[in-house]
Chains A and B, each alone.
Chain A
């Protein structure tokens, strides 16, 4: 069963003060996220990622379309007990301490009083806020607030977690911890849907990704499929401090780093290059096909979208 099914959700806002005109924030979106997946929702700023999440959370109402979460209508308030949500750049009641904030959210999510205290301590430990649980949130740094946001999203042990730009405001260490946390959530069988514009995070974490641009879905698929477009080139690494002249004649792009040489060469010239290395008695370390990175795929998709929009205009 799909954990999240988005069935043509669309949002058009009316903008302008005197003469209202429609502005489409999200074109009809169709998307399904399987249970237990980490799904990345990628796009540049203003692409429609946050609008989609707000629609799914019932914070804004769609112009048309619907969605199902864990097989139930997304407008059913009770399904929200199974959902965790971290908004982008979260802001909380800053007069509360981290412990009080989680207690309040636990109450609203229906976590029984007996389990609440234990659960709060667990999640505070998990996000590294145990030492500051008695400190008011107004004294928290941006990174600490982000951690508190993650804690409130997973406090009630939800089955589906939505994170809007979860790495925002975090230092490299914090980003690493959030990535580990998302991996753990997946291992616990939870579905993670997160939006980001940091592609390295998506590439490292996601089972599948969708790319959205100007409110339109531009591509969707498994990260391996999207990045497995072999460019007809191989990456060869051997031990050595110089590049044999006959390798250069094969059209290789070579870089020497210390005791190793890396060369990108066309697949057709691969055997000829191996022969050269044998003749020169150089030790071959590895040969791997050159794949498109998620970033290259993403940029290519956006470039195509830009040019087709320009052509249509």
Chain B
């Protein structure tokens, strides 16, 4: 990686840590340990199912909230506070700034997810007292969650490159919700006719298909994940994030910093 991108990424990560973003881990740990103790007392044989479902859903939601709320301010906050002036008056290309910011935020989320994953496995061990081979599938679900984060980070950056933080948050969160129901949207497009079919199909393929990344429920039921899906999701996430980042770079390259 270009050294300047690495410096910007590392500073972005440092900002997140110093702004106490990782404190969310405490809330996550409390939620998970509370849930583990609770289900350990009331349920019979479904403790694992509940812990995996709850744990992975929490990992995903906490991460999405962080990705959106940090991502939307990554560029606009730097413009508003004018911290960008002393960065771009150095031999830093605008695209390097955007990519550096992306990697910084993605890195923050990966570290955050890593610690949450430890929490999930800890809670699982607490209720089941042992690990079994199908538990390794949780790693696949975590990998898909991280891929999801990459898309959301890139989208938040895209919106942040031209819009205010509030509007960026609305756009990013709406896309996340619509994207989570992308399969249903595609189903609806298949049943519709005429112009509605075209519009629904266009929207279904334009919004990120987050539903393809959600394997939490099947993994909780110890169902395997096809290698093809892992490959397809990886390519899809990288492509979608790259497209969104290209858009962010394209807009930012031509933006006047008033």
A interface, CB within 8 angstroms of B:
13, 54, 57-61, 77-78, 80-81, 83, 85, 87, 90-93, 95-96, 104-105, 107-110, 149, 152
Contact = CB atoms under 8 A, between A and B. Distances in A.
Interface string B1-37: 0011001100100110011000000000000000000
Contact of B82 (A87, A105, A108): A87
Interface centre among A54, A107, A152 (most CB of B within 10 A): A107
B97 to A, nearest CB: 10
Contact of B91 (A13, A78, A85, A92): A78
A81 B91 CA distance: 6
A93 B85 contact: no
A122 to B, nearest CB: 19
A81 B86 contact: no
B89 A77 contact: no
Contacts of A60: 256-258
Interface in B211-258: 254, 256-258
B90 interface: yes
B123 to A, nearest CB: 32
Contacts of B258: 13, 60
17 contacts: A58-B89, A59-B257, A61-B254, A77-B92, A85-B85, A87-B82, A87-B89, A90-B82, A90-B85, A91-B81, A91-B82, A95-B15, A95-B18, A96-B14, A107-B4, A108-B4, A108-B90
B86 A105 contact: yes
B93 interface: yes
A57 B254 contact: no
Interface residues of B, number: 26
A105 B19 CA distance: 20
B256 A105 contact: no
Contacts of B18: 95
B90 A93 contact: no
A251 B139 CA distance: 97
Nearest to B93: A77
Nearest to B15: A95
Shortest beta-carbon contacts, A-B, top 3: A85-B89, A95-B18, A60-B256
A109 B7 CA distance: 11
A61 B85 contact: no
B258 to A, nearest CB: 7
A96 B15 CA distance: 8
Nearest to A153: B86
Interface of B: 3-4, 7-8, 11, 14-15, 18-19, 81-93, 254, 256-258
A107 B3 contact: yes
B82 A109 contact: no
Contacts of B256: 13, 59-61
A25 to B, nearest CB: 10
Nearest to B79: A59
B250 to A, nearest CB: 14
A110 B2 CA distance: 12
Contacts of A90: 82, 85-86
A83 B89 CA distance: 8
A95 B87 contact: no
Contacts of A80: 89-92
Nearest to A95: B18
Contacts of A83: 89
A183 to B, nearest CB: 23
Contacts of B4: 107-108
Contact of A95 (B14, B88, B90, B254): B14
Contacts of B14: 95-96
Contact of B89 (A57, A78, A91, A96): A57
A85 B89 CA distance: 7
A117 to B, nearest CB: 16
A21 B86 CA distance: 30
A109 B83 CA distance: 15
